[in-house]
Structure 1
């Protein structure tokens, strides 16, 4: 059965208006003319919100006060910006407002943590430049929503879920289709929001669909700022940010491929300088350009954090790059089992296990950048094997471990899963990105004993927005060689219930007291900026049962 996502009149009108307004093509206030007679608008990168709590939300924008004040340039004067929050889209019923100053020290980004709000309430917001050549110009009006009160009896929360959006590999049709929906409470991005590669560094069978800026691999603070700015120039991404808050974490490509605490596979100190400097550059740009609220203290800021949605769910967002020890090669065998190796770091592991064990909510959702389910790879047809090993980062022979996700850190995985099992933690669901493919899995404490013990948790993995997967890497038609690999994976790994290695798109994750469901929506063609979308599969987990089961239909909008 093929189900296509319909776009309501409301959704169509909203998406069309958003795309026009976000691109700066229409505005109630004239643009500003500069010396060459051309026009520029100060809010070229849209507006965004994020990390909703019952009484607060992050609001974000970026101001271009003068034509030369482009991202990463260091140009442009300090600029005063007014922000307003109201309960109506005309912004007449104001509830909060204020002014702030931004400058090149933060790349002219603006980020406000607005508190004093009412729980479970939709708000509208905008920004306005108060001085300089752009004085009086307002941004497009965005909408956001606070989380329910912690003790609220919540019957449904619905998230869009995305991962791995590579500018060069295709258009962001997944974001366009998410922005057309009117049923989402937030969008969760599980990592690889940007890619660090030079142009052509990770393309696939369709080559470079659109070129990265800068064209070289990004290393400096200016480089990361420019790349973030390019991504937020995309009209579909701006549209998706405009209507709902986002909850984001990073994976590796926000800094460099296969990053760990002391370096990265895609970092060469002899030509690119110390890893600590590059990592700091990427982190600074990320916090400037993303609508995220750091946790911890100013002296010990960190990205892993927890958000609660009434009595229904807690969402624990992980950082699995900053604290991990270096990956080992899969053929190093028992090295992956060493208790001295960690993917979370000790503090984050304690925070995660404590939170899961003590959570008072029905569902314990973990925003997990890399797969935790054990995956064993059997011998495959040679082309499929090469594609999988390139994607998963394992030797061409197809050995049992992919050492970059939790398979390379089995002591940490056992510690976490043992805490879930020994404390009888019900309804732990990991939602995951990274691997450019869609999966539905039961997570066993011991894969060898799965038939006797079943799972202790479940994992629902979303595919990439655009990043290359198996058919892209093998230069073959979709669902040909990939089907061979999918069958082999699910045959050897009975706890893996579903794999799609060739599709691109997004997930819609629906949470109710009786169960959760992840619907996989797949694009017709990521290379087409106007691509359609269809429902490829859905998988549900019932309350109290650590098992995924196929859904007959997508959840209703």
Structure 2
């Protein structure tokens, strides 16, 4: 279908009927406040949902603003089931409001409409849904990741907002990016052409920086429409802080010019918890520990893990960790054996023992409860993915022709990668391939719980369908990776070179891969089967756009393998 530029925000409306406070229509501003960043809900439970908004004051120095939340079973608010008064948009929280309506008038498996009121001004109306208890015939999840603001239009969010059915949006991270607006900054060639320039225009480091960047992203009408359509279930990846984050640092953090990493991390996490519809850490717990479980009736359990700030060791990189020696012809030869000793080290991990033990308990509990599906909301690709050996794929003449069509900079990178990939080395060391011992421990956790979960993955800006196996060759899980909403894909700069097909042809675990399309995964679960549809938008550079199903795969309950279609 072809979809135009019109946002769904107008569809949801902001009708004042039934309000005890008698608010004026949305969009008017008689009292110096507005709701410029929309509304959102998240972390749904059977009788609880987190409701979020941000009140934009005309004068930030005026102090806190009193806010009312109304929740109804109808869009006209003639049947209000709960009204929370006395909420406050506080300057100390950047005027954001987050209210966890736990056990206060909400029923399981029910659709609700909600709105906020401040100084007589009414917010846009959002829709949310609580999780079911007991028998459930179907659950539908939209799986998203990687939404670089300068990278392109959020057409995929417009498409999600228009879905007839979606129970929750599962966001696997990279909700914001930290880069600046310089001509060489990430995505800025597209950002400049579309006038989608990062705010602030420099790389974000301080609390004010991170708040402004979150505010800019939530100013996008398509993202607002998706938030207003369904509850989000979110985790962060690396760019909510800085590129290639690990537990004590990041590739894109330089302490000599950007201060202590722990200070930057605290600022990034504080802004994230202020601006996202996610539950706050409990007192006395680690702010980094956002792993949590959601049960969709008797049908499925969704376990969201955290793979950046708790257990992840520093990533290896070919530039910093691969040694080279001169070969007989004078060309550098990589010391693959020494590098593999580093990569295969037993202590390399992403989750850490505490989170892995928690996950094992959650998986076993879900299995014991009789739920047919255990779904893992995981940030990075889990499959074994070796880089493509270009020399083995085609004749030397064909390879030379392909390289000749690339820009000099990209050609040099491809030629360097080709040398490494000819040795069977991983395509991406920031994924689980950089932590094979930790991945094997995770697979043993699956085995101990007697489950073969569905693994979801983001981060890669590519679509993946993978059948995961452990070191002994035993099937352990099926993986569906979502492409980015707007972030550049690895295949974008390679012209006609079929990178996705090359990766699928090189790697037995990869059933399908597309390294250029943008969009989301639509995962539909029933007692009998799980169906994943790879939903691709035709463009992120303009409107209108087309939405199509790139591929779809089905997994029957109890089966180890996938069928296409």
CA shift in 2, pair 1:136/1:206, >3 Å? closer
Please say if residues 555 and 561 of structure 2, whose CA atoms lie closer than 8 Å, have aligned partners that are also in contact: yes
TM-score, normalised to structure 2, is 0.85
**Corresponding position: 1:96 with 2:82:** yes
Distance 1:175 1:30, change over 3 A: closer
Matched position secondary structure for 2:122: coil
> For the Cα contact (< 8 Å) 1:158–1:508, is it kept in 2?
yes
Give the 5 Å matches for 1:55-66. 55-66=47-58
Write the deviation string for residues 436-494 of structure 1: whole angstroms up to 9, x where unpaired: 00010100012xx64xx4x22110001110100134334x3xxx21x2x2232222212
Kept in 1, the 8 Å contact 2:26–2:123? The answer is no
Q: Counterpart of 2:211?
A: 225
Partner residue, 1:326: 314
Query: Which whole-Å CA distance do the structure 2 matches of 1:76 and 1:340 have between them?
Result: 53
- Residue 95 of structure 1 deviates from its aligned partner by 1.9
Q: Tell me if 1:274 matches 2:260.
A: yes
Tell me: CA distance 1:76–1:440, structure 2 relative to 1, closer, same or farther (3 Å). farther
- Partners of 2:166 and 2:303 lie apart in 1 by 19
Aligned: 1:138 with 2:149: no
The aligned residue for residue 370 of structure 1 is: 380
CA distance in 1, matches of 2:177, 2:545: 22
State the match for 1:203 in structure 2: 187
Could you tell which deviates more after superposition, 55-64 or 371-380? 371-380
Kept after mapping to 2: 8 A contact 1:171/1:527: yes
In the alignment, the residues of structure 2 paired with residue 374 and residue 153 of structure 1 have an alpha-carbon distance, to the nearest angstrom, of 36
Distance of 2:449 and 2:67 partners within structure 1? 50
2:248 paired residue number: 262
Counterpart residue number, 2:140:
158
Cα deviation, residue 60, structure 1: 0.2
The match for 1:437 is 462
What does residue 41 of structure 2 align with? Answer: 49
The Cα of 1:120 is off from its aligned counterpart by 0.4
1:461 aligns with 2:475: no
CA offsets 1:169-216 (integer angstroms, 9 cap, x no match): 100000001101121111111110111111252117646331111110
Where 1:277 maps in the other structure, the secondary structure is helix
Task: Report what 2:221 is aligned to.
Answer: 235
Residue aligned with 1:497, SS? strand
Task: Indicate the residue corresponding to 1:403 in structure 2.
Answer: 429
Q: Shift of residue 321 of structure 1? A: 0.6
1:28 to 25, 32, 56: 25
Match status 1:186 vs 2:168 = yes
User: Does the 8 Å contact 2:485/2:520 carry over to 1?
Assistant: yes
The 3-state SS of whatever aligns with 1:456 is: strand
In the alignment, is residue 351 of structure 1 matched against residue 358 of structure 2?
yes
Structure number, greater radius of gyration: 2
Of 125, 129, 132 in structure 2, the residue corresponding to residue 148 of structure 1 is 132
Question: How much does 1:394 deviate?
Answer: 7.3
Matched, 1:215 2:201: yes
1:349 is paired with a residue whose SS is helix
Count of residues paired in the alignment: 510
| Structure 1 residues 168 and 418: CA distance shift in structure 2, 3 A | same
Q: 1:123 aligns with which of 112, 137, 145?
A: 112
- Structure 1 358/295 Cα, relative in aligned 2: closer, same or farther at 3 Å? farther
Match of 1:340 in 2: 347
CA deviation vs aligned residue, 1:40-91 (integer Å, no higher than 9, x gap): 751110000001100100000000122x53xxxxx44211111111222222
Shift in alpha-carbon separation, 1:495–1:109, aligned structure 2, 3 A: same
Identify the range of structure 1 (56-65 vs 84-93) with the bigger mean alpha-carbon deviation. 84-93
Q: Shift of the alpha carbon at 1:539?
A: 1.5
Cα offset, 1:519, TM superposition: 0.7
Structure 2 counterpart SS, 1:397: helix
Q: Is the 8 A contact 1:295 1:305 kept in 2?
A: no
Shift in Å at residue 510 of structure 1?
A: 0.5
Q: State whether residues 378 and 488 of structure 1, in contact with CA within 8 Å, keep that contact through their aligned partners in structure 2.
A: yes
In 2, Cα distance between the equivalents of 1:295 and 1:346? Answer: 20
Q: Structure 1: where are the runs of 5+ without partners?
A: 35-39, 70-74, 130-134, 552-557
* Alignment RMSD: 2.7
Judging changes above 3 Å, is the alpha-carbon distance between structure 1 residues 370 and 247 closer, same or farther for their aligned structure 2 residues? same
CA distance in 2, matches of 1:32, 1:153: 46
**In structure 1, C-alpha distance between the alignment counterparts of 2:309 and 2:412, rounded to whole Å:** 24
The 1:20–1:81 alpha-carbon spacing in structure 2 relative to 1, beyond 3 Å, is: closer
Deviation at 1:421, TM superposition (A): 2.5
Look up the SS of the partner of 1:82 in the other structure: strand
Aligned CA distance change for structure 1 residues 289 and 230 (closer, same or farther; 3 Å): same
2:499 is the alignment partner of 1:493: no
Aligned residue number for residue 555 of structure 1: none
Deviations 1:245-301 (A, max 9, x none): 111111001100000011101111100001101111110000000001145544434
The 3 A distance-change label for structure 1 pair 272 and 153 is: same
CA distance in 2: counterparts of 1:388 and 1:261, whole angstroms: 34
Q: Per the alignment, in what secondary structure is the counterpart of residue 270 of structure 1?
A: helix
Structure 2 equivalent of residue 132 of structure 1: none
